[in-house]
Structure formats: C-alpha cells, structure tokens
Amino acid sequence: MGRSGWSQLASLRHNPRVHRGWRVAGYLLGGGLLAFLVLPVVALFVTGSPADWLAGLHHPITLPALLLSLTTTALSLGVLVVFGTPLAWWLGRSEARAARLVETVVQLPIVVPPAVAGLALLLAFGRRGLLGPLLEGLSIDIAFSTIAVVLAQVFVAAPFYIQAATTAFASIDENLLVVARTLGARPPRVLFRVALPLARRGLIAGGALAWARALGEFGATLMFAGNLSGRTQTLPLAVYTALESDLRAAQALAVILVVIALAIIIFLRPRRGRHRW
Amino acid sequence: MTALVANLAVRLGALDLDVALEVDERGLILVGPNGAGKTTVLLAMLGARRPSRGRVAIASDVLFDSADGIDRPTEERGLAYLPQNYALFPHLTAVRNVAFGIRGPRAERLAKARGLLERLGVGAVADRHPAALSGGEQQRVALARALAPSPRALLLDEPLAALDVESRGSVRDFLVAELRAQHRPFVVITHDRDDIRAFDAPVAVIERGRVVQRAEPGALPTSAATSFAARLFGSPGAD
C-alpha cells in the first residue's frame, strides 16, 4: 500500500459515518455468532416445562446415569490428581528438553478425536489389545466395564488438569522453594506448605475443567466402554439413548448436564479484586 | 572465628564459574556486573545449584565436596538465604513466615517469631501478609525469618536493591548493625558503592565467573583490575 493508501485508511478512522458503518458491521457479525452459541442452550430450557423435566427425572434411565456419571467422574478426577500432580510438578519445574517433549505428548488427547481415543484404548486394554494377554492372566477384564468408563474419562480429561497444574507450578518463584529449604524444610514439607498452597488456584481451575470434560465424555466411552445401563451408561450416553424413545427424558438429562456445566463456569470465573491467600 | 570456605566450579548455560572465596565474621561483599555469576555462587553454596566440582565447608563441617562425594541437602547446611526479592511466602502472615523455620510446638514457634519481629522493629505488622508491607518492612521480616533457625552463615543477594532512596539509608544502617551483632559469616551481593563503604567488609569483584580483584575493608584499591572495578572503586561521586 502506498503512502496515499495509508493516509486514506487513517482518514477512515476519523470519518464518523464510515466509522459507524464498521461498528454496526462488527456488532452484526459478533452478535450473530453469540446468538448462535446461546440459542441452542436457550432452546433446551424453553421448549420444555419444569413438569416435563420432572417427568424426565423420573424416567428409569435418569437416576442410574446420573449416579454413574458422578461416581466415575469423581474417580477420574481422583486418578488425575494423584497421578497428574507429580507429572505436572516435573513438567513445570524441569528445564530438561525431555519435559518439553512430554508436555507436547500430554496435549495429544485434546487433538485426537474421542472416537479414535476410544478405539485406541480398546486396542491397548481390550481383550485382544496390546495388554490383553497380561490383563487376562490377572483375570482383569476392562473393556465394557465401569473401569473402562473411568479410563476413557481420564484419557480425554488429563491434558486439562496437567496443563493447568504445570502452569501453576511453573509460575512459583524458585527463591520461595530455595528459602523454604534453607529454613530446614525437607522437600515434602516444601511441597505441602509452600508449593501446593501457591499453586492451589491453578490446580482447582484445572481440576474443574478436567471434571467438566470428563462429565461430557461421550465418544471414547461409547467405543471403549459401551452403553450398558448402570455399568457404562453415563449422562451423555443416556441423553443419546433416551433421544430414541423419550425426548423429554433426553431433555431433562441435558438440562442437568448444562446446569452442572454452568455451575463450573461460574465457579471458574476469574475473581476480581485483591488476592486473598 | 568461624569461616565459610567455598571453592566452586559451576557450568550453567553461558556461565562458566570458578571461584575461591573465604568468608569470616567480618563478612564478604561480592560485587560484579549482571550475569557475572554472583547469585549462582550463593545458590551453589546453598546446594540449590550443583557445582561440577569444588568444596564448601563451614568451620570444620564439610557441606559439599566433589572429591569425597559429599553433597549435604540444603535443609541440613544451616545457611540462611535472603534473595533479592526477599521471597516472603505470600500466603503466610509475617509472623508465620518467621515461624516457618522454627521448630517446636506451634504456640512456642509463633511466640518466638513474634519476639524476633519485635526485636527487629516490625512487631506491629506481624499479622499482615507480605503484600501489605513496605519494602523496608519486608526486608526486616525476611531478615527475621532468616535469623530464626539460628543459621551458621547468612547469604544476602542485593538486600537493599528493592528499596527506594529514602528508606535505603536507614535500612542499610540497620542491616549493617544487625549483621555485625550476629558474629556469623555473611556474604552480601551489591552494586552500590555506599553499601560497600557501610558494610566495611572484605570485597571480591567477580566478572565472567572469575574473581578478578579482592580488597580489604577500609583499603579500597587504588589500581583497578578491570573497567568495572575502576567504576566501582573510582573517585567518589564518579557514578
């Protein structure tokens, strides 16, 4: 663009009429997308009445799915925190090149389609999978069991927790950890009294995100765990199943999921104002 | 007199550090340009950086010796560390920061910590979090925390750099008096010529990982080894 082009552009900004035109176009484009995002959620609520939802809640498919979802996601979150926190500590504090490589590997489940993840889990832990003979020797049958549900959830949710925890640990000033050691604290005390309290916000945020992702898990669960009521049929699978017979039940289940998701988003909203420790 | 002796070789990225330092109760001032390796010297003494070879000992107690395979963990070295930003634990009140390094029953630890803060003139802010303290207050709390476990030596990284000009002088006088009263070896990193004069301790100039010049207190050299040392030791008011 030549000199005259730039000056034309500059004058555009000062021409109130043209300026307003751009602004209106911006509102229309952004507002259109916003409406598209909000409309389906609104539809979920306004197309049914509370009486319908209550009826849906009493549908025989609902309660087992709700209980199964709550127990399996609680287990998944527990597994992630216990196994993921040490990994995130290493990723956050190590300067080794291997750590950067592992950080990339850990992101893999985000970009792998859930159905592919389910198939991959089946090929690893299924009866004919890589570890099949080993697991059979221990008489453990994972595929199409509640354990498979948990494994599928852990697989897809892990990156969310590990990434958040890694960032939280990486942002701790090294001097704090060194000073704690000079004050006589052994590494476990440094971890529990200094590092974990300082990383707490990040860990909770990552845990909440991972929990939300585990709760919504559908594709990998269907492939690896199946859709067995009371054993592997979580809320999202129940929505899918109910849709075939009873739209009201499907909608009630969906409303439960959305309400939980909204609660998580509100809980996660960054708080304004000064930090209180 | 107790002496802290350190012979350290550390390779860290572009830094190739190889220094021999001896610190007694008169203290040691460590000066040098940014990136010279001053902070790394302190971290290696503490055991937070692993030297490729060398030896660190205080009195007859060996803390690190690459030849004998001795490498005592930081928490057993008994060296206090005051980093440049003081590194007060942001989630703990001043008194809990100080109590962190004291052993014993909880009430006793807190009482000792409170007493220490009062002695250092910051008893009034004992229940505040570090973010609510002024720079001078933070420095005193950090010093109280460093002294709380009765360390065998103190390592201070630019203890006055974070302070504004007004409070700097009085905090400096306080720090000098406090370190003198401790009768423990101390190392102070600084950039400031007024600090060097006030601490009145032996000086070692480090540049690019080597000690390029040493000086005794009260007798700053008239011939400087490098241009940095020349600026540092040069005529009063030169910087």
The predicted-structure confidence for B21-40, as pLDDT tens digits, reads as follows 999 999 999 998 888 899 99
Q: What string of pLDDT tens digits covers the 239 residues of chain B?
A: 689 999 999 988 888 899 999 999 999 999 988 888 999 999 999 999 999 999 999 988 999 999 999 999 999 999 999 999 999 999 999 999 999 999 999 999 999 999 999 988 899 999 999 999 998 899 999 999 999 999 999 999 998 887 888 778 888 888 898 888 888 999 999 988 888 888 889 999 999 999 988 888 766 666 677 778 777 776 443 34
Q: How far apart, in whole angstroms, are the C-alpha atoms of residue A212 and residue B107?
A: 42
Beta-carbon separation of A185 and B77 below 8 A? no
In angstroms, the separation between the Cα of residue A60 and the nearest Cα of chain B is 49
- Residues of A with CB below 8 A from B146's CB? 182
pLDDT of amino acid A264: 80
Identity at B170, one-letter amino acid code = S
Q: What are the C-alpha distances in Å from A145 to residues A122, A149, A230, B90?
A: 12, 7, 10, 46
pLDDT band at A157 (very low <50, low <70, confident <90, very high): very high
3-state secondary structure chain A: CCHHHHHHHHHHHHCHHHHHHHHHHHHHHHHHHHHHHHHHHHHHHHCCCHHHHHHHHCCCCHHHHHHHHHHHHHHHHHHHHHHHHHHHHHHHHCCCHHHHHHHHHHCHHHHCCHHHHHHHHHHHHCCCCCCHHHHHHCCCCCCCCHHHHHHHHHHHHHHHHHHHHHHHHHCCCHHHHHHHHHCCCCHHHHHHHHHHHHHHHHHHHHHHHHHHHHHHCCHHHHHHHCCCCCCCCCHHHHHHHHHHHCHHHHHHHHHHHHHHHHHHHHHHCCCCCCCCC
User: pTM value?
Assistant: 0.82
pLDDT of amino acid B236: 45
Q: Is the pLDDT of residue A138 over 50?
A: yes
Length reported for chain A: 277
Beta-carbon separation of A179 and B83 below 8 A? yes
pLDDT of amino acid A14: 62
DSSP string, chain B: ---EEEEEEEEETTEEEEEEEEE-TT-EEEE--TTSSHHHHHHHHHTSS--SEEEEEETTEEEEETTTTEE--GGGT-EEEE-TTTT--TTS-HHHHHHTT--S-HHHHHHHHHHHHHHTT-GGGTTS-GGGS-HHHHHHHHHHHHHTT--SEEEEESTTTTS-HHHHHHHHHHHHHHHHHHTS-EEEE---HHHHHHHT--EEEEETTEEEEEEBTTB--SS-SSHHHHHHHSSTT--
Beta-carbon separation of B90 and A178 below 8 A? no
Token output for B187:
């190392």
CB of A188 within 8 Å of a chain B CB? The answer is no
Beta-carbon separation of B100 and A182 below 8 A? no
The rounded mean pLDDT for chain A is 87
Contacts of A55 (CB under 8 A, 6+ apart): A248, A249, A252
Beta-carbon separation of A178 and B74 below 8 A? yes
Among B84, B87, B91, the residue with its CB nearest the CB of A277 is B91
- Residues of B with CB below 8 A from A174's CB? 48
Residue of B nearest to A198 (CA): B91
Beta-carbon separation of A277 and B79 below 8 A? no
CB of B15 within 8 Å of a chain A CB? The answer is no
Closest C-alpha to B100, from B141, B132, B42, B68: B141
Question: Any idea which residue has 């601490």 for tokens?
Answer: B199
Among B81, B103, B131, the residue with its CB nearest the CB of A182 is B81
Suggest the residue from A97, A179, A190, A198 to mutate for an interface test with chain B (most B CBs closer than 10 A). A179
In angstroms, the separation between the Cα of residue B204 and the nearest Cα of chain A is 24
Q: Is the pLDDT of residue A77 over 60?
A: yes
Segment A12-67, tens digit of pLDDT: 556 667 778 888 999 999 999 999 999 998 988 888 888 887 887 888 888 899 89
Are A158 and B48 in contact by the 8 Å Cβ rule? The answer is no
Q: Determine what percent of chain A is predicted with pLDDT higher than 70.
A: 90
Segment A204-230, tens digit of pLDDT: 989 998 999 999 999 999 999 989 888
